[in-house]
Structure formats: structure tokens, C-alpha cells
Amino acid sequence: MRILVIHGPNLNLLGKREPEIYGSTTIDEINTLLKKEAKTLGADVEFSQSNSEGEIVNTIQEAMGSVDGIVINPAAYTHTSVAIRDAIASTGIPTVEVHISNIFKREDFRKKSFISGVSIGVVSGLGIDSYLLGLRGMVSYLKK
């Protein structure tokens, strides 16, 4: 079972970026934890990060046929991107949306997600555990 984890814009700055909101763990540390968790779950995991909407769309399209599920933190594109939503819907790859912060507890513009409607589930607000729980949920969904 192959799972692709996609990190959206500005998540390359995790650890330095607004640590009071996003914590001090870096993207590399999150990926290491995910790799460990995936091993326990018997899944293979690969990673991608991009600050560009088109690149994320390409990554999702290229995953077709080679990846069983996607765990995505679309970051700011959550709230704006019809293109990423359509890529997920068009490929039909089961997708879990994750957020470090609780997007429903923040500014009004963050409360709307274009991605949730094409996701099998959403984990938001549990810090880096959102990624780990998202991965667990994805694997459990695929095993059923």
C-alpha cells in the first residue's frame, strides 16, 4: 500500500513559521515520524512539498495508478483552490485532509475548505498528530 503525503505552501518553513500556531517541529521531523508510523502500519509512504498550486495539481495527477491514497495538508490553498479540489476528484484517489491548527477556530476565511468535500475525512487542530492520525485513517480506510 502506497501513501503520498503532500505538504502545501509555506509548510517548508515549519519549525520557524509562527511557532505559536504551528509548533516547533520541522517538515523533515514530521516526515520521519510519518515514515515510522507507516512502517508500523505496513504501508509505504512518500513525500512532496510545493509552494505552487500547479505543481500540486501535477503531483496529484502523476500519482494516478501508482499511489493508493493521499494525505494532504493543502495549507493556504485549502481556502482557495478549485484546481486542487478538481485534481483530487478527477483522479479519484482517496484523500484525507489534515491541518496542524484548528481551521474552524481561526479567522473566518480559514473556515471554508474547498478540499473537504472531496476528502474521505478531515483531521484539524491536533498539531502534528493530525498528520499521524490522518495517515492511520487513510490506511484503515484502504484496508477495508
Out of 88, 103, 132, 139, the only residue in the binding site for ligand DQA (CB under 6 A) is: 103
2, 27, 51, 110: residue in contact with ligand DQA (rule CB under 6 A): 110
Q: How far is the CB of 68 from ligand DQA (least distance, A)?
A: 23
Q: Please report which residue ranges of 1-144 form alpha helices under DSSP H.
A: 19-22, 27-41, 53-63, 82-91, 129-143
The single-letter DSSP state of residue 128 is: T
The answer to whether residue 75 forms part of the interface with ligand DQA (CB under 6 A) is yes
Please give the positions annotated as active site. 22, 99
Do residues 4 and 101 make contact, with C-beta atoms less than 8 angstroms apart? no
Is 78 among the residues that bind ligand DQA (CB under 6 A)? yes
Cβ at position 73, least distance to ligand DQA in Å? 5
Q: Does 119 bind ligand DQA (CB under 6 A)?
A: no
Q: Number of residues interacting with ligand DQA: please give it, by CB under 6 A.
A: 10
Among 4, 5, 38, 100, binds ligand DQA (CB under 6 A): 100
The rounded distance, in Å, linking the Cα atoms of 115 and 143 is 23
Q: Please state, in angstroms and rounded to a whole number, the distance separating the CA atoms of residues 9 and 40.
A: 28
In angstroms, the Cα distances linking 77 to 12, 80, 81, 85 are 15, 5, 5, 10
Residue 12 binding ligand DQA, by CB under 6 A: no
Tell me the C-alpha distance between 64 and 35, whole Å: 21
Spatial contact of 2 and 67, defined as CB atoms under 8 Å apart: yes
Task: Select the residue interacting with ligand DQA from 7, 85, 99, 136 (CB under 6 A).
Answer: 99
Question: Which residue in the set 83, 101, 121, 142 belongs to the binding site for ligand DQA (CB under 6 A)?
Answer: 101
> What is the contact surface with ligand DQA in residues (CB under 6 A)?
10, 73, 75-76, 78, 99-101, 103, 110
